[in-house]
Amino acid sequence: MQYPEPLQYGDTVMIIAPAGPPSIEHILQAKQKFEEMGLFVIIGRSVQEKRGYLAGDDTVRLHDLHEAFTNPYVKGIFCARGGYGTGRLLPSINYELIRDNPKIFWGYSDITALHIAFGQFARLVTFHGPMMEEVGKGLDTLSFSSFKQLFHPYSIILKAAAFFHSVNCCITAPLVGGNLAVITSTLGTPYEIDTKDKLLLLEEIGEEPYRVDRMLNQLRLGKKFEQCAGVIFTSCHNCTSSKSSLSISEILYDYIVSYNIPLLYDLPIGHIQPNIGFPLGVPATINGRQKTLSIYSGIH
Tell which of 133, 151, 169 closes a domain: 151
How many CB atoms neighbour CB 161 within 10 A?
Answer: 11
What was the pLDDT predicted at 240?
82
- Mark whether 89 and 166 lie in a shared domain: no
Phi-psi sector, 174: left (phi>0), alpha (psi -120 to 50), beta: beta
CATH number at residue 71: 3.40.50.10740
What was the pLDDT predicted at 134?
96
Query: Which of 5, 80, 99 lies closest to 41 in space, CA to CA?
Result: 80
Q: How many domains does the chain have?
A: 2
Residue 63 in domain: yes
What was the pLDDT predicted at 237?
86
Residue 96 in domain: yes
Arithmetic mean of pLDDT over the chain: 94
- Mark whether 162 and 146 lie in a shared domain: no
β-bridge partners, 74: 12
Which is more confident, 240 or 277?
Answer: 277
Buried b (16+ CB within 10 A) or exposed e, 138-149: ebeeebbebbeb
- Mark whether 160 and 293 lie in a shared domain: yes
Residue 163 in domain: yes
What residues are labeled active site? 109, 203, 271
Percent of the chain past pLDDT 70, that is, above it, reads: 98
Q: How many angstroms separate the CA atoms of 235 and 14, rounded?
A: 28
Query: Which of 188, 233, 243, 185 lies closest to 210 in space, CA to CA?
Result: 243
Residue 5 in domain: no
pLDDT digits (tens, 9 = 90+) for 37-78: 999 999 999 999 999 999 999 999 999 999 999 999 999 999
pLDDT digits (tens, 9 = 90+) for 3-29: 999 999 999 999 999 999 999 999 999
- Mark whether 139 and 201 lie in a shared domain: no
- Mark whether 141 and 159 lie in a shared domain: no
- Mark whether 102 and 197 lie in a shared domain: no
Please check the confidence at residue 298 and state whether its pLDDT lies above 80.
Answer: no
pLDDT digits (tens, 9 = 90+) for 196-255: 999 999 999 988 999 999 999 999 999 999 989 999 999 888 888 767 889 988 999 999
What was the pLDDT predicted at 167?
63
Residue 18 in domain: yes
Q: How many angstroms separate the CA atoms of 137 and 1, rounded?
A: 33
Helix, strand and coil in the chain, % to nearest 5: 35, 25, 40
pLDDT digits (tens, 9 = 90+) for 144-183: 999 999 999 889 999 998 888 766 789 999 999 999 999 9
Residue 6 in domain: no
What was the pLDDT predicted at 300?
63
- Mark whether 127 and 258 lie in a shared domain: no
Domain of residue 266: give its range. Answer: 155-297
- Mark whether 138 and 251 lie in a shared domain: no
What was the pLDDT predicted at 117?
98
Residue 2 in domain: no
What was the pLDDT predicted at 224?
96
Tell which of 129, 151, 173 closes a domain: 151
CATH number at residue 255: 3.50.30.60
Which is more confident, 187 or 244?
Answer: 187
Tell which of 151, 169, 188 closes a domain: 151
